[in-house]
Amino acid sequence: MRRRAFLTRSAPGHIIESVKNRPFGGERKPVKAGNNMELKEAVAKLKETQRVMHAYNHAMGVMYYDIETAAPKNAIEGFSNTMATLSEITYKLSVNEENFALLDYLSEHAGELDEITRREVEEAQKGLRLLRNIPIEEYVEYQRVQSEASAVWHEAKVNNDYAMFEPHLKKLVEFTIRFAKYAAPEKDPYDYWLNEFEEGFTQDVLDKYFARIKEALVPLIHRISEKQQPDDSFIYKFYPVEKQRELSEKLMEMMGIDRACCAIGETEHPFTTGFNKRDLRITTHYYENALTYSMYSVIHEGGHATYEMGNCDELMDSPLSGGASCGMHESQSRFYENIIGRSRAFCGLVLPVIKEIFPEQLEGVDEEKFYRAVNKAEPSLVRTEADELTYSLHVLIRYEIEKKLMHGELDTKDLPAEWNRLYKEYLGVDVPSDKEGCLQDSHWSGGSFGYFPSYSLGSAYGAQILRAMQKELDVEKLVAEGNIPAVTDWLREHIHKYGQIKKPAELIRICCGEDFDPEYYISYLTEKFGRLYGLED
């Protein structure tokens, strides 16, 4: 999961700070329409205010990373108060008439701006469409509610106590709906947030997408359920955490991640956050009786970090740094996790490394056995542990629930029952506890309603990107040789370097020479799992 501040694409880091209240010296001058010199002056003000907003966002991001990974339990009250105060400051720096005038002026002269500056203005305007309509008291209160909700979620999950979390979730749902109506009263609230996470996607588009996914994959899942499953018992032996930390370092080295630019921490629900291309933070969670949980978590989050480290230097500290969208970010993390990390080539490459660290646990496990075990396909309870084939059904369940929450068709008190019903209907599994059910993900505690579809879309983007990459590279051979950086170089040239300069639809066309097509995803899964389970055509 790629963590961003609240409002995602409209987060403070993507908003222009006001000139009026800027905390730096110099006499304030009005922005005027006119000659080229005045345009240059306006651009200079834009860049300077972005620099200051980046500093605030950087500080808030470091605080968030600390509260999630290192801070003591009782630090939450102070953290919440500080975040609320800083959020109030960034709100005031962004939402004022002079800032609106600056952005309006630059928008009017968009044709005279370079591509990066033009996109910075577009993103700033997009963010302010929401913020300029939220009363400051509500914005500050939301920050407090969100911080508290995140802390309560951690405790509720550990204690399997949904009732503890439910009142906080209810407040977040109410805020989310209300804020969407502030920003775009003419739109369905859920459509508004879906578009914020993945531009161009609405419920109508996603309903058709998921209908096609169900149509193609559910029969395949049923056919596989009748086949003998591979032995994966060795994955659940005892694997000391300290040794798993050693494996994490090896995995990051194999991926070509520059450790001088990327740190790794530990948290309840793994995520990645970044402040610039030279300061990325990934996290993982270790289970002593589940080797591959952290292993693939590190590869997944390492994919997020690799994306941002590949941004071109011109985007350093720019609001356009990072990824084009949540779906595009997930395409890269899931590309490394699944398309590379669960490939036969990578299994052959990584198994000797793992056996060197855990020789007793993996005695008698060969490449074929390991490959089949990490690709075992069967319905399960936990999304982050789901196989590639059933994964999108986990996402679909969350999508269905979010739609109902956003439309007032589901009360938060009834969420666990609806969750359990859908898991039984779509995946045929009984949910034994809320810890393994509706409390398993951190996203809702952070207010990220509309994020989940990005995971499935990211997987589909990745399959299409792979097909395009294979026209130029022998991907399997490169991975088998340990040359994963060569794959990264291709992704950097076609995706990573652009940051948010290009929109996701543009990037797919740059990579693939055509528009997004989910049939590549369906073909990828059908071919891979058909071979794994020996299915006839």
Report which of 327, 341, 336 is spatially closest to residue 303, judged by C-alpha positions: 336
Contacts of 446 (CB under 8 A, 6+ apart): 3, 6, 146, 149, 150
Distance in angstroms (rounded) separating the CA atoms of residues 278 and 305: 10
Q: Which listed residue (68, 301, 308, 330) is catalytic?
A: 301
The answer to whether 291 and 297 are in contact (CB under 8 A) is no
Beta-carbon neighbour count of residue 146 at 10 Å?
24
Instruction: Write out the two tokens for 245.
Output: 């930390």
The answer to whether 381 and 429 are in contact (CB under 8 A) is yes
Distance in angstroms (rounded) separating the CA atoms of residues 44 and 113: 12
Distance in angstroms (rounded) separating the CA atoms of residues 346 and 367: 10
The answer to whether 272 and 304 are in contact (CB under 8 A) is yes
Q: In the 8-state DSSP scheme, what is residue 18?
A: P
Instruction: Write out the two tokens for 431.
Output: 């949910």
301 is a catalytic site residue:
yes
Report which of 509, 531, 529, 510 is spatially closest to residue 521, judged by C-alpha positions: 529
Query: What is the CA angle 57-92-450, rounded to 5?
Result: 55
The answer to whether 360 and 218 are in contact (CB under 8 A) is no
Report which of 2, 33, 12, 154 is spatially closest to residue 95, judged by C-alpha positions: 12
Asked whether the CA dihedral 127, 132, 135, 136 is positive or negative, the reply is positive
Report which of 434, 437, 405 is spatially closest to residue 164, judged by C-alpha positions: 434
Which DSSP string corresponds to 329-363? HHHHHHIIIIIITTSHHHHHHHHHHHHHH-TTTTT
Which DSSP string corresponds to 301-333? HHHHHHHHHTS-GGGTTSTT-S-S-HHHHHHHH
Query: Catalytic site residues?
Result: 301
